[in-house]
């Protein structure tokens, strides 16, 4: 399970920190066709909405994970749970967020099928 946790964490980082304009193939590699997201404001987003955000996000932000762990839901589905913050940002009101992602093993690779962000208070 520890090996899968490391792999999923690397995939989460790849999605957040890669320049997807330069590597658009990563989108289909990492996001399932039926992907959905609920953002920290409670709004639901489609796969296309999230792809648009990923393509235009600030490529210079270096995200940091804290307390990353996974729970196996089935043999081919895992739930990732972690805190995410921007360690290189000057002191602001942003304290980070709690994230959950559901990853499914499809055709010999892990793909994210769901993601949710919740603000930390």
pLDDT in tens, 64-96: 888 999 999 999 999 999 998 776 655 555 567
Q: Which residues pair with 46 in a beta bridge?
A: 36
Burial, 8: exposed, middle or buried (Cβ in 10 Å; 0-12, 13-18, 19+)?
buried
**Whole-structure pTM value:** 0.88
Q: What is the structure's pLDDT at 34?
A: 96
- Pairing outcome for strands 97-106 and 109-119: antiparallel
Q: What is the structure's pLDDT at 89?
A: 58
């Amino acid at each position: 399970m520890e090996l899968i946790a490391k792999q999923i964490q690397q995939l989460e980082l790849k999605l957040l920190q890669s320049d997807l304009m330069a590597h658009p193939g990563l989108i289909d590699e990492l996001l399932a066709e039926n992907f959905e997201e609920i953002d920290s404001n409670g709004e639901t987003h489609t796969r296309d909405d999230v792809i648009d955000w990923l393509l235009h996000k600030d490529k210079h932000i270096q995200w940091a994970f804290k307390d990353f762990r996974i729970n196996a839901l089935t043999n081919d589905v895992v739930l990732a749970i972690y805190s995410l913050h921007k360690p290189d940002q000057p002191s602001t009101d942003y304290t980070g967020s709690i994230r959950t992602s559901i990853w499914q093993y499809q055709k010999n690779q892990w793909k994210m099928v769901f993601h949710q962000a919740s603000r930390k208070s």
